[in-house]
Amino acid sequence: MTRFVVSVHIVPRQGLLDPQGKAVADSLRTLGFAGVRDVHVGRHVVLELDAADAASAERAVREMCSHLLANPVTEDFELAGVRPA
């Protein structure tokens, strides 16, 4: 077993109303960042886990996402990185 650090991005599902993202976008524009087109605010989860190899660490985290870490009704997730601890 090797210890891996896996990070996951969880973001509001594309097209879903994201009031927090909208508020951030509005305030960025207020601050003068006129080029801001869209903002989405999600969660970044970093897990440390033991697994046989990187592939099985990744598989385990995908399963965690679909069971608990993300809500399939409203959220998408993507693995942002897998590296040995």
Partner 1 sequence: MKVGVVSFPGSNCDEDALLAIVERLHESAVLLWHKDHDLQGADVVILPGGFSYGDYLRSGAIARFSPIMQEVVAHARRGGPVIGFCNGFQIACEAGLLPGALLRNVSLQFRSMPVTLRVETSQTVFTNAATAGARLTMPIAHGDGRFTADADTLTRLESEGQVVFRYVNAAGEPTEAANPNGSMRNIAGVCNPGGTVVGMMPHPERALEPLLGSTDGLVLFESLLASVKA
Partner 2 sequence: MTTHATPRPGDPAITPALVAEHGITPDEYDRVVAMLGRTPTLTEIGIISALWSEHCSYKHSRPVLKTLPTQAPWVLQGPGENAGVIAIGDGLAVAFKIESHNHPSAVEPYQGAATGVGGILRDVFTMGARPIAMLNSLRFGSLDTPRVRYLVAGVVKGIGDYGNCVGIPTVAGDVMFDAAYEGNPLVNAMCVGLLREEELIRAKAEGVGNPIIAVGARTGRDGIHGASFASEDLSAETEAKRPRVQVGDPFTEKLLLEASLELIRSGHIVAIQDMGAAGLTSSSAEMAERGDVGVTIDTMKVPVREAGMTPYEILLSESQERMLVVATRGREAEVKAILAKWDLVAEVIGEVIAEPVYRVTEGDRVVAEFPGTRLVTDCPQYHPEARESDAAIERRTRDVAAIAEQPEEADPIWTLTRLLEAPTIASKRWIHRQYDSTVRTSTVAGPGHADAAVIRIRGTRKAIAVKTDCNGRYVYLDPRVGGRIAVAEAARNVACTGATPRAITNCLNFGNPKKPEVFFQFREAVYGMGDACRALETPVTGGNVSLYNENPQGAVYPTPTIGMVGVLDDAAHATRMTFTTPGDAILLLGEPREELGGSEYLAWIHGTVAGAPPACDLDAEKALIDAILEAIRAGHVRSAHDCSEGGLGVALAESCIADETHPLGAEVDLSAWPALSRRALLFGETQGRIIVSTSDADAVTAIATRHGVPVYRIGTVRLATDGLTVQVGASRWTAPLATLADAYHGAIPRAMSRAAAETVGTEGVA
Q: Does residue number 68 form part of the binding site for partner 1 (CB under 8 A)?
A: yes
Among 49, 69, 76, 79, binds partner 1 (CB under 8 A): 69
**Spatial distance between the Cα atoms of 61 and 69, rounded to a whole number of angstroms:** 9
Q: Does residue number 35 form part of the binding site for partner 1 (CB under 8 A)?
A: no
Please choose which of partner 1, partner 2, none residue 2 contacts, taking the beta carbon within 5 to 8 angstroms, the exact cut-off set by kind: none
Q: Does residue number 27 form part of the binding site for partner 2 (CB under 8 A)?
A: yes
Site string for partner 2, 29-58 (x = CB under 8 A): -xx---------------------------
10 Å Cβ neighbour count for 66?
A: 11
Candidates 63, 55, 64; CA nearest to 82 is 55
* Min separation Cβ 63 and partner 1, Å: 14
Amino acid at 3: R
**Spatial distance between the Cα atoms of 64 and 10, rounded to a whole number of angstroms:** 12
